[in-house]
Amino acid sequence: MRTILPFLKPYRGQFALVILIVFADVGGSLLVPTITANMINLAVSGAGISEIIRQGAVMLAVALLSGGLTLAGGWLCAKLSADIGRDLRTAVYDKSLQFSASDFERFGTASMITRTLNDVNIIQQSLVNIVQMVLPVPVMCVMGILFAFRINRDMGWLLLGGTLFVLLAAMVIIRRAAPVFEKLQGFLDRMNVVLRENLTGVRVIRAFHKEKHETGRMRKTFEDYAESAIRANRLFAGLDCIATASINLCIVAVLYLGGSRVGAGEMEIGDITAVTEYAIWVLFYVMMAQMVILLVPRAMTCVRRITEVLTHEPEITDAAGTAVNENSDEIIRFDGVSFRFADADENTLSDVSFSCRRGRTTAVIGGTGSGKSTIAKLLLRYHDVTAGKIMLFGRDIREISQRELRGHISYVPQKAWLFSGTIAENLRYGSQDAPEEELYHALDIAQADFVRGMPGGINAYVAQGGTNFSGGQRQRISIARALSRKADLFVFDDSFSALDFKTDAALRRALAEETKDCAVLIIAQRISTILHADQILVLDDGKIVGMGKHEELMQTCTVYRDIADSQAKGGGQNG
């Protein structure tokens, strides 16, 4: 509840009004059978029709008012739930924006989606049900039992005993429900993971003829979830049977005892109707509350999962630093940087030192797993260094805000991801207010001239992930997105891998002119991409084993020469 209360606080007035309406609705529901009993007793005693009509009019007014309150309470409660759900989702999303890559890996993308959508939805539903079905129960029970005692003491004890029996049965079943719902949410997470893997990896599955294997894996996941859901539904069914049987037995007992009391002159015949309806109302509310409370363990599991996200301390935090001095030619410096992932036994990078200066292109090359892309991630503070420091204009990047740091850098990630919408909308991620001519200029530099020939030009449709474009086209649009931003440092993380050699060469020539007043960092696998770099870093097993220009490295660095020879044999330097 400590997680939910802060989100409920801004709506405390609305919440109090909902509670007031719900309690008033309960009072109206219990007044109707009281008035009905009075009408029956009047008719039996031979009272005039006018008095019966007057009582009927009062009953109609109470019923209409109670119905109106029910509608108003339902609407207000649904709005309250929707507002809190919106605020919860916003809080989870805002918190996720602070997470580093390691933070995301801890929770998992599928789990974050489940927590943001499904878990919050369950909390919303539980809030509505608790307010409308659980909170009125104490008032309904107390008032209903007191009304029954007012009519006849035995009737009051009978209704009290039936209520306590149903409540006791509910407590036993609810205790068994908690672990079932805990597993249910875990299976739901697993189901989302498997579905996401199968949908995004469908081409790999088909290529290796693994349809049957993946079908079996999905079936197992669905069966685990189904078995857990069936166990939960069995608990529901058992509780429903107990509550329904209790209501019917209570009604039978009321009619039997009431009949004998009427015969003895201790009760009037209309009172039997009143007590019967009190029993129905009380036990009905108790039964509905049981159904809701049975869901509470699941809701509490969801609250706990949301709390885990909201209270998680991000690996990367901002310091209250001052602005950097942008007059220096040295934009970025790595000073003895080492980095190790939390679950790794060895460093990914060890004692890496270099700088990126204005007007100069720095390139990083190395074998797979040598730590090339980790350099870009550390530079953008997706992770923090384990040792050493990275400086922006002479200031440790941990001493300035992430927003300011990334404001000086324009980044093209290794995976050219495009968002659904239009090409223009994707390009304006780099510069929100960029005019069309600047966007077309960035596309021309990125050799994405195919956009001009498309229907709609930069307003052409982009599917989620850019799946309606080829790999090379996605890369060029991603490069144009980075170029549309005015930055001091441009980082290209293996961003030319899908380009043919002719396009690669044309792009590098255009980039040289466009970025002549900026620093450029190119992380590449092909030597042809970095031949003319002012400084090339050669990584091997996370360490710099060579630094210099292409000609120097060919003479002095064995690792670089081996990479060059292997690519030359495979045609990697042609063009």
* Number of other residues whose CB lies within 10 A of the CB of residue 372: 23
Asked if pLDDT for residue 88 goes beyond 90, the answer is yes
DSSP 8-class letter at 328: -
Q: What does the pLDDT read at residue 244?
A: 79
Residue of 186, 178, 177 lying closest to 115 (CA atoms): 186
- Express as a percent the part of the chain with pLDDT over 90: 26
CATH number, domain containing residue 228: 1.20.1560.10
Token pair recorded at residue 512:
């040289």
pLDDT at 91: 93
Residues 6+ away with beta carbon under 8 Å from 147: 30, 34, 274, 278
Residue 390 and residue 236: Cα distance in Å, rounded?
A: 58
Return the structure tokens found at 211: 């349809």
Let me know if residue 85 belongs to a domain.
yes
What are the structure tokens assigned to 259, written together? 């009949």
Q: If you write DSSP's letter for every residue of 189-217 in order, what string do you get?
A: HHHHHHHHHHHHTHHHHHHTT-HHHHHHH
Residue 374: C-alpha distances to residues 337, 408, 541 (Å) = 11, 19, 12
Among the candidates 278, 311, 344, a domain finishes at: 311
Q: Could you tell me if residue 503 is inside a domain? A: yes
Query: In DSSP terms, which residues pair with 373 in a beta bridge?
Result: none
**494 and 481 in a common domain:** no
- CB 537 within 8 Å of CB 544: yes
Number of structural domains (the chain) is 3
Do 561 and 463 share a structural domain? no
Task: Specify the amino acid at residue 506.
Answer: A
pLDDT given at position 570: 61
Most confident listed range (55-64, 154-163, 218-227, 542-551): 542-551
In angstroms, the CA 340 to CA 345 distance is: 8
Number of residues in the chain: 575
Question: Cα–Cα distances in Å, from 41 out to 31, 148, 272, 405?
Answer: 15, 16, 10, 82
Would you say residue 318 lies in a domain?
Answer: no
Q: What is the pLDDT of residues 306-338, one digit of tens each?
A: 999 998 888 888 776 666 677 788 999 999 999
Q: Which domain holds residue 159?
A: 5-311
Look at residues 472, 332, 495 and name the one whose alpha carbon lies nearest to residue 412: 495
Q: Is residue 337 domain-shared with residue 305, that is, in the same domain?
A: no
d(C-alpha 329, C-alpha 186), whole Å: 52
Report which of residues 257 and 489 the model is more confident about.
489
Q: Please report, for the chain, how many H helices and E strands are present, in that order.
A: 20, 12
Residues 567 and 492 in one domain: yes
Q: Is residue 204 part of a domain?
A: yes
- pLDDT for res 427: 92
Whether residue 165 is predicted with pLDDT greater than 60 in this model: the reply is yes
* Domain termination site, one of 248, 279, 311: 311
Token representation of residue 23: 């309690």
Q: Cα separation of 283 and 280, whole Å?
A: 5
Q: What is the pLDDT of residues 215-268, one digit of tens each?
A: 888 888 888 888 888 887 887 787 778 777 887 888 888 888 877 777 777 777
Domain CATH for 423 = 3.40.50.300
Q: Would you say residue 9 lies in a domain?
A: yes
**Does residue 316 form part of some domain?**
no
* Residues 401, 441 within the same domain: no
Q: Are residues 180 and 33 in the same domain?
A: yes
Cβ neighbours of residue 501 closer than 8 Å, sequence gap 6 or more: 528, 574, 575
Q: Is the pLDDT of residue 571 over 60?
A: no
Distances (CA, A) of 418 to 203, 318, 373, 455, 555: 19, 28, 19, 18, 41
Look at residues 454, 486, 518 and tell me which one is the last residue of a structural domain.
Answer: 486
Residue 544 lies inside a defined structural domain of this protein:
yes
What would the mean pLDDT of 65-93 be, rounded to a whole number? 89
Gap between the Cα atoms of 459 and 241, Å rounded: 60
Residues 400, 519: Cα–Cα separation, whole Å: 20
Report whether 362 contacts 522 (CB < 8 A). yes
User: Averaged over 366-391, what is the pLDDT?
Assistant: 90
Across 418-438, average pLDDT: 89
